[in-house]
Structure 1
Amino acid sequence: MHIAPQDSITEQPLSTSNQNVATGVRTGRPRPATGLAFAVLAIVQATLIFTITLISIPLPDIARELDLSSADLVLIQTAYGLPYSGLLLFGGRLADRYGGRRLFMVGLSLFGLASATAAFAPTFEALVAVRFGQGVGAALTAPAALAALRAVFPEPARFSRAMATWGGVSVLGAAVGTLTSGAVTTWISWRWMFAVPVLVAALALAVTRHLLPAGPATESQARPGLDPAGAVLATLGISLASYGLIVSEDRPWGSATVLVPLAIGAVLLGAFLALERRVRHPLLPPGFIRTPHRIVGLAGVMLAAAGIGLVTVLLALYLQQIRSWSPLETAGAFLPFTVALIATNRAAAVLVGRFGAGRVTVAGLVIGAAGLALLAGLDRGSSFALGLLPGLILLPAGTSLVFSGSAVLTTADVPSHQAGLAGGVMNTAMELGPTVGLAALMAVAATQTDVVAGYAWAFGAGGAVYLAAALVAVALLRRTPSSADG
């Protein structure tokens, strides 16, 4: 996994203007300390996403061992993701108020402890509880990691160059989680999957104080308020709406199980947005996401995460349920996918530096659309080499470029005292992408009577959305070339 931004950090002074942040960056070598700090933070970030997918393939084994129903499995899957996505904005506020390194250590401690407990969970209820604890710890850790990264690279231009590499880190975690879970489940036990987050948390905590700066001292009167009402509304609204979208994959859209949480979540989010216009220290300042380059960046993060989630879920179902592949064979099918992600991530930072974050994001959307279009030809007799492999290479290549470019666009011009906010917003978009995308595209798939034909339609619809997003991104970025793509 390529995580050190060795081609994207330079000691040469650069202009820190908005134009230079998003247009492109020179390449060079990082100082050893900053490179190691980046590596630690990046591995932790990848592990937070890895933990979402680590039980995806072994779910049937978990169901047999704990005697679970389909509804129980949905709860196990959502127990981590719901608090993670719901609490990210508040986690960002805490990081900005108390410092990235401090909250990073608190969140990582909780995440590691919950992960260790999950490995020994004796019952369904215990597993759900500790997965929830993992999600809470992850929601504190993720925005704090980005705030700590900003402290490691305080100059805006150098921070932007780091973000060009950081953007592809999370998706690598998801791919590695899918890849390794099949092997671990086949040869030992799904419980051993939790050893990875435990080990990463322990090692990161051991070196954090030596590698990460405490961050600049902040006067208490300059610290942002906590906005507790906004935090409650945002957390409950995002969590309930996400739950409604998740259960829509197995329940009719008109059922109370889907409509009630969706409706309540929408009302709470509306109340949150209204509140943010009136409070002195809003959890999400209304103008923060209105700039064209940030809109493109957040949309890119959501779409890239949705594309990865769609392929991971649908192809795992197709290979295991339609083609009768084993978990190990299914995991192996994603090996080219993972290699393509890693290879593109190595080149993404250089491409952002040469062509600009906006152009790289648009190019990634077009390449990803081509990959989804190829997968739209899926049928029951599709061969792996000709029917799946081309799409499994093009899609991750495109999404890796989108993640890298979008990470730079999302964090451009963010002051150091809002680094946690930027981390919370970007990670929220990353978490909502698969939730919203899967719900919408599975609804497209449900229009077809044949399951495989439905999968093909979902891939085709996803490709169309990617192309439309590329066109919209071009239009938005042309309005502000100085802040997006020179």
Structure 2
Amino acid sequence: MRAKEDPGERPRTSLAFAVLAVVQATLIFTITLIAVPLPDIGREFDLGPADLVLVNAAYGLPFSGLLLFGGRLADRYNGRRMFMTGLVVFALASATAAFAPGFGALVAVRFAQGIGAAMAAPAALAVLRALYPAPAAFGRAMATWGGVSVLGAAVGTVASGAITTWVSWRWMFAVPVIVAVLALAVARRLLPSGPAGSSRPRPGLDPAGAVLATLGISVGSYGLIVSGDHPWTSATVLVPFTVGALLLSAFLAVERRVRQPLLPPGFIRKPSRILGLTGILLASAGTGVVTFLLSLYLQQQHHWTPLATAGAFIPFTVALIATSRAAGVLVGRFGAVRVTTAGLLAGAAGLALLAGIDPDTTFALGLLPGLILLPAGTSLIFSGAAVLSTADVPPHQTGLAGGAMNTAMELGPTVGLAALMSVAATQTNTVTGYAWAFSTAAAVYLATALAALMLNRRTTPPQHAIIHN
């Protein structure tokens, strides 16, 4: 029998969902908005390779490091309030970045952007839960929400090439400013308070856990980022990576002893949630690595311009959009585990096609099939994994779920790029190294899909019931 229309599906709620989705996409868009114009920034400020790495990473380091704490703030202080606070910080930093006079100022404001994003992203999910309080409606919303972030990254790559070609790279920062200002203008009237507004006692802040998690993720991520330009055995890589690992080990030890841990140990032990977070990490890693390596390949091997390189990813973006529109329906019909598994298999096939790359590979026949199949799989992964990551999460932990999801999404490109560039470095020929990296990524996708198949056979995933009830 057809279920009654959920109140959360009314036009006002749909508009509120659109506002949250555009903001989430913009937060991810901001990661990639300077990826293509980095050479121009380097020439303007006379920067070396290490400086460019820091400019590129300055946004993502605080974003990934502070997300768990940002989720706790949303659960404690009200989702809408933290969403708006984060947007204010994000907008001011973005506006300042457009006028940065030099290297130090640009790094500082990119860092501030990341702080604002880490406050806004998990809070957006807390507000989304308030928009769709019924489990069935929330499940459907998450199935759509899953494809939003990866779309933001893809659009960022395309837009940065176009804008850099026609105007200054500084105009890239107008996009986050405009989105943030418009969202702030309608937020108080359109968005409800987050789940933290209930009568349940507010969770504690766990300051020790917050400091250890933030520093551990940020410092460790920096070690992974600089591994692209330095050997793993160098102090530049080994010291921050080791310090980050020690800090995260201390964080896990602290979380077992405090009364209200920032990340409750049992939160991610559920097999379906582990699959969801792993899927998000792999999907973001796959798209990030492919975007990075193929941008280098097209510009260095085939001498494409930044604009032409950005245009090469238009089919990638179209495939993301087209599949995202169907992904939510597929999750509702077949269940999140099956859709995630199908996405992993499609993504593995796309990466395997790209693994055939060589110096003479043509775009139309050699790259385009993989650039369509991979994003199609990625959309399915994100939609299914978003549902898996939030299934059975109580309302007072929705910010935590948002923080965990976004942390996996942020760490994916960092971890994936560091690992796969190490694989590529085993080959003396650069393009052969790219092929080995794509092959390795395809193997990891395939192995995860097999694990998901075993999980689907052993369990009846609760998220399937959530969407259908």
Q: Secondary structure at the match of 1:257?
A: helix
Match of 2:376 in 1: 397
Instruction: Report the AA paired with residue 405 of structure 1.
Output: G
Q: How far did 1:282 drift? A: 0.2
Tell me, yes or no, if structure 1 residue 60 matches structure 2 residue 39.
Answer: yes
Q: Secondary structure at the match of 2:58?
A: helix
Instruction: Report the AA paired with residue 461 of structure 1.
Output: T
Contact 1:477 1:484 in 2 (8 A): no
Distance 1:229 1:479 in 2: 38
Contact 1:230 1:282 in 2 (8 A): yes
Q: How far did 1:478 drift? A: 2.7
Match of 1:210 in 2: 189
Distance 1:220 1:413 in 2: 20
Instruction: Identify which of 306, 322, 325 aligns with 2:304.
Output: 325
Instruction: Identify which of 79, 97, 114 aligns with 1:135.
Output: 114
Greater than 4 Å deviation, 4+ residue runs: 216-221
Instruction: Identify which of 173, 177, 180 aligns with 2:152.
Output: 173
* Residues 307-345 of structure 1: per-residue CA shift (max 9 Å, x gap): 000111000000111111100000000000000000000
**1:10–1:101 distance in 2 versus 1, CA, 3 Å:** farther
Q: How does 1:116-135 map to 2 (within 5 A)?
A: 116-135=95-114
Consecutive unaligned residues of structure 2, counting only runs of 5 or more, are: none
Match of 2:87 in 1: 108
Distance 1:43 1:456 in 2: 34
Instruction: Identify which of 219, 223, 228 aligns with 1:240.
Output: 219
Distance 1:434 1:482 in 2: 28
Tell me, yes or no, if structure 1 residue 188 matches structure 2 residue 157.
Answer: no
Match of 2:341 in 1: 362
Match of 1:340 in 2: 319
Distance 1:470 1:52 in 2: 28
Instruction: Identify which of 291, 306, 324 aligns with 2:270.
Output: 291
Distance 2:237 2:451 in 1: 31
Instruction: Report the AA paired with residue 343 of structure 1.
Output: A
* Residues 231-287 of structure 1: per-residue CA shift (max 9 Å, x gap): 000000000110011100111000001000111100110010011011001000000
Distance 1:398 1:58 in 2: 28
* Residues 51-90 of structure 1: per-residue CA shift (max 9 Å, x gap): 0000000000000111111111011011100000000000
Distance 1:218 1:71 in 2: 45
Instruction: Identify which of 63, 69, 91 aligns with 2:48.
Output: 69
Instruction: Identify which of 361, 368, 383 aligns with 2:362.
Output: 383
Match of 2:57 in 1: 78
Q: Secondary structure at the match of 2:9?
A: coil
Distance 2:449 2:463 in 1: 14
Instruction: Report the AA paired with residue 77 of structure 1.
Output: N
Contact 2:272 2:461 in 1 (8 A): no
Consecutive unaligned residues of structure 1, counting only runs of 5 or more, are: 1-8, 14-27
Distance 1:424 1:299 in 2: 14
Instruction: Report the AA paired with residue 192 of structure 1.
Output: W
Match of 2:238 in 1: 259
Alpha carbon RMSD of aligned pairs, Å?
A: 1.5
Contact 2:76 2:203 in 1 (8 A): yes
Q: How far did 1:215 drift? A: 3.6
Match of 1:25 in 2: none
**1:217–1:452 distance in 2 versus 1, CA, 3 Å:** closer
Identity of paired residues, percent?
A: 75
Instruction: Report the AA paired with residue 109 of structure 2.
Output: V
Distance 1:482 1:371 in 2: 27
**1:412–1:68 distance in 2 versus 1, CA, 3 Å:** same
Tell me, yes or no, if structure 1 residue 438 matches structure 2 residue 417.
Answer: yes
Instruction: Give the paired residue count.
Output: 464
Match of 1:39 in 2: 18
Match of 1:315 in 2: 294
Q: Secondary structure at the match of 2:59?
A: helix
